[in-house]
């Protein structure tokens, strides 16, 4: 328990100096000899400098001990607050940690019970008969299709334990090979895993020197993959051989201090122009020609100078529309054909740092953003009023550190463009086990469609990627990759569900008989490779299968 300064009435413990020891010995010896007075010492001449030095000499402070409770949030005594393990305890002097509003605590927040609380649903455009709907669809193809039933991958099919040496930072499915998953980690490694043939896995450890922030594929050759990193480089790597080609380097002279070190975060591909856009931590945008693999043009300031640009996304229908987001609390829309400092088409204000911003995957008409203020914001049309979002959904993803930022992403297979997936930060108690589920949210209403969890996975899962063609979810939890699929009974098949298969990666280096564990990521296993002490469950993966207390 932390120590705090005691009150003036509390006695302190004072060290005894050597002078006081000598005086006590002299007085005791005088009393033994029968003298009732103290002999005055001879007067000695002391220099002024020595006398000043004696005056400046400080005695050691008294040692005080207090057992008062100290709050980790407001730093005041008398109560305790903050995270105790996986449970968050509210501070009575601060607003709710989830919705940031005063008047209640996180445990009793209405958004925790019903995520759609206070969310304005999308307006109903089709209020007449189905024949009228079909007629309007023939005239205007922009009218959305009938909303189908959501299909949620909610069961762990297989997993690769400790595949990376540090926490996973990004995931990407191969565009043409449906069973290939690529992953990047904090150390700069690039992993390739065939999750159908689970033993076929490769990891390249010399692609970058630090965090891999983005993975994109080449247009003409799907065996080449582009990666950007916090070391300020963009590499093109051959997936078969692992040979990399340096395309762009913002730090050719090496490390000269944090004031000049540039890191690359946002990256995306303009399909029509064959241009790779990347953005750094100083607010600048760069372009790389994918045909010549060379940097073109001059850097352009697209966000506040000195702020980090964490995300870039090109519109899938009109790639010249570029969406960016950064640490200056804004997401901005640009025209890639005329980029300059003050040429943004729209600026979308947020309360705090914007972790991600994406156009909708099919029409490109909607925008989905994730901000550190525990809000998921949705704009239903980029051609409407962009001053305020259509909906704000309260969701727990405001974290402290040592985690990859949470990002809400669209389901690329959803024709209604309303389903999004994101991991959850605050844990929930499921049958006595503290779990951090993966949430599927209907962005048109703000309702929680499903919360996916497994009692064998007790760590936070901030990185999630949905398959572009199949009903598969890949999630990165610390150094582990998990593949989620739908339950067989949902497709009315007679096939019994297969057991989960977890594969341990034994390629790590060992130091003095101990595994080199991740220093800043959650680990679902102990250093000896054993599972944590949680209940083992095969099929309790959804909200309907587990009792939430």
**Per-residue model confidence as pLDDT tens digits over 33-81:** 444 444 444 444 556 767 766 666 656 666 665 556 778 777 787 777 7
Select the highest-mean-pLDDT range: 54-68, 197-211, 356-370: 356-370
What lies within 8 Å, CB to CB, of 252 at 6+ separation is none
pLDDT at residue 3 greater than cutoff 60: no
Whole-number Å distance between alpha carbons of 38 and 33? 12
Evaluate whether 195 touches 181 at the Cβ level (below 8 Å).
Answer: yes
Q: What confidence score (pLDDT) does residue 140 get? A: 63
pLDDT at residue 123 greater than cutoff 50: yes
Model confidence over 286-327: pLDDT tens digits? Answer: 999 888 888 888 899 999 999 999 999 999 999 999 999 999
pLDDT bracket for residue 485 (50, 70, 90): very high
Evaluate whether 440 touches 423 at the Cβ level (below 8 Å).
Answer: no
pLDDT bracket for residue 276 (50, 70, 90): very high
Whole-number Å distance between alpha carbons of 134 and 145? 10
pLDDT bracket for residue 17 (50, 70, 90): very low
Which regions of 105-251 does DSSP assign to beta strands (E)? 155-161, 168-173, 180-185, 190-194, 201-204, 212-217, 224-229, 233-238, 244-249
Model confidence over 223-240: pLDDT tens digits? Answer: 899 999 999 999 999 999
C-beta pairs of 541-544 under 8 Å, 24+ apart in sequence: 541/154, 541/155, 541/156, 541/452, 541/453, 541/454, 541/484, 541/487, 542/152, 542/154, 542/450, 542/451, 542/452, 542/453, 543/450, 543/451
Q: What confidence score (pLDDT) does residue 254 get? A: 86
Angstrom CA distances, 365 to 317, 350, 362, 412, stand at 9, 20, 8, 14
Model confidence over 80-106: pLDDT tens digits? Answer: 777 776 667 778 778 888 888 887 877
pLDDT bracket for residue 11 (50, 70, 90): very low
Q: What confidence score (pLDDT) does residue 263 get? A: 94
Q: What confidence score (pLDDT) does residue 303 get? A: 94
Evaluate whether 369 touches 354 at the Cβ level (below 8 Å).
Answer: yes
pLDDT at residue 519 greater than cutoff 50: no
Q: What confidence score (pLDDT) does residue 516 get? A: 40
């Amino acid at each position: 328990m932390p120590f705090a300064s005691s009150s003036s009435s509390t006695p302190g413990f004072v060290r005894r100096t050597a002078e006081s020891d000598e005086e006590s010995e002299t007085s005791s010896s005088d009393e033994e000899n029968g003298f009732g007075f103290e002999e005055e010492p001879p007067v000695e001449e002391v220099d002024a400098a020595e006398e000043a030095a004696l005056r400046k000499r400080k005695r050691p402070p008294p040692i005080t001990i207090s057992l008062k409770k100290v709050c980790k949030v407001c730093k005041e005594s008398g109560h305790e607050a903050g995270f105790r393990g996986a449970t968050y305890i509210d501070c009575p002097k601060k607003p709710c940690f989830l919705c940031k509003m005063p008047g209640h605590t996180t445990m009793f927040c209405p958004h925790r019970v019903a995520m759609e609380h206070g969310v304005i649903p999308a307006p109903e455009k089709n209020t007449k008969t189905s024949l009228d709907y079909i007629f309007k669809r023939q005239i205007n193809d922009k009218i959305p299709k009938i909303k189908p039933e959501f299909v949620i991958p909610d069961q762990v099919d297989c997993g690769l334990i400790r595949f990376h040496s540090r926490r996973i930072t990004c995931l990407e499915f191969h565009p043409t090979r449906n069973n290939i998953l690529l992953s990047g980690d904090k150390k700069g490694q690039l992993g390739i895993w065939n999750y159908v043939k689970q033993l076929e896995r490769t990891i390249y450890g010399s692609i970058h020197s630090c965090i891999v922030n983005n993975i994109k594929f080449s247009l003409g050759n799907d065996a080449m993959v582009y990666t950007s990193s916090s070391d300020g480089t963009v590499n093109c790597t051959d997936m078969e051989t692992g040979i990399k080609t340096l395309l762009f380097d913002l730090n050719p002279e090496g490390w000269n201090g944090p004031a000049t070190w540039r890191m690359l975060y946002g990256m995306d591909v303009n399909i029509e122009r064959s241009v790779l856009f990347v953005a750094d931590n100083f607010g600048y945008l760069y372009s790389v020609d994918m045909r010549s693999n060379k940097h073109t043009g001059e850097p352009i300031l697209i966000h506040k100078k000195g702020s980090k640009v964490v995300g870039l996304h090109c519109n899938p229908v009109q790639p010249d529309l570029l969406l960016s987001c950064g640490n200056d609390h804004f997401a901005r829309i640009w025209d890639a054909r005329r980029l300059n400092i003050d040429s943004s088409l729209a600026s979308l204000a947020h309360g705090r740092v914007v972790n991600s911003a994406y156009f909708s995957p099919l029409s490109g008409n909607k925008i989905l953003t994730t901000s550190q203020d525990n809000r998921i914001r949705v704009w239903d049309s980029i051609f409407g009023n962009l001053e305020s979002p259509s909906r704000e959904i309260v969701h727990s993803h405001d974290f402290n550190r040592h985690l990859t930022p949470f990002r809400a992403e669209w389901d690329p297979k959803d024709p209604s463009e309303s389903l999004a997936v994101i991991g959850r930060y605050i844990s929930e108690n499921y049958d006595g086990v503290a779990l951090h589920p993966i949430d599927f949210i209907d962005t048109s209403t703000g309702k929680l469609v499903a919360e996916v969890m497994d009692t064998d996975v007790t760590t936070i899962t901030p990185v999630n990627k949905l398959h572009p063609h199949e009903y598969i979810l890949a999630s990165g939890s610390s150094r582990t990759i998990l593949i989620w699929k739908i339950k067989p009974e949902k497709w009315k098949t007679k096939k019994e569900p297969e057991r989960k298969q977890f594969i341990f990666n034994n390629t790590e280096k060992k130091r003095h008989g101990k595994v080199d564990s991740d220093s800043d990521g959650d680990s679902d296993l102990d250093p000896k490779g054993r599972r944590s002490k949680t209940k083992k469950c095969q099929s309790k993966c959804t909200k309907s299968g587990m009792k939430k207390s």
